[in-house]
Copies of this chain bind each other. A is one copy, B any other.
Amino acid sequence: MFAALGDPTRLALVAKLSRGGASSIVQLTEGTELSRQAVTKHLKILEQAGIVHSVRSGRESRYELDPAPLAEVKDYLDRVSAEWDQALMRLKAFVEE
């Protein structure tokens, strides 16, 4: 998940999809400096990570966002920062003891 979003191009693709809704590969390639195939590869990676899925519609395949995994990431970060707070509390208690 983090790895999938770790690439700037892929993060930009997610941002573009979040704004523009479902889009074809050529549409997603417009604006970037990359070739169509490069974008395709990134889309495959995002798809494998479950962040995005494609629907074939005639000669074009449209990709659209799948926001559920993003929520999972948020939950994970919530747990991590909660644990960190607890660790700080324990440290505080230990020092004051």
Contacts and interface: CB of A to CB of B under 8 A. Distances in A.
Nearest to A72: B77
Residue from A18, A78, A88, A91 with most neighbouring chain B CB atoms (10 Å) = A18
Interface string A67-85: 1001101100110110111
A29 to B, nearest CB: 19
For the complex formed by this chain, how many copies does it contain in all?
Answer: 2
Q: Is the interface of A mostly helix, strand, loop or mixed?
A: helix
Sorting the interface of chain A by its residue count into under 10, 10 to 19, 20 to 34 or 35 or more gives: 20 to 34
Given A3-B7, A21-B91, A73 B80 contact: no
Contact of A77 (B7, B70, B87): B70
Closest 3 CB pairs of A and B: A6-B6, A3-B6, A21-B87
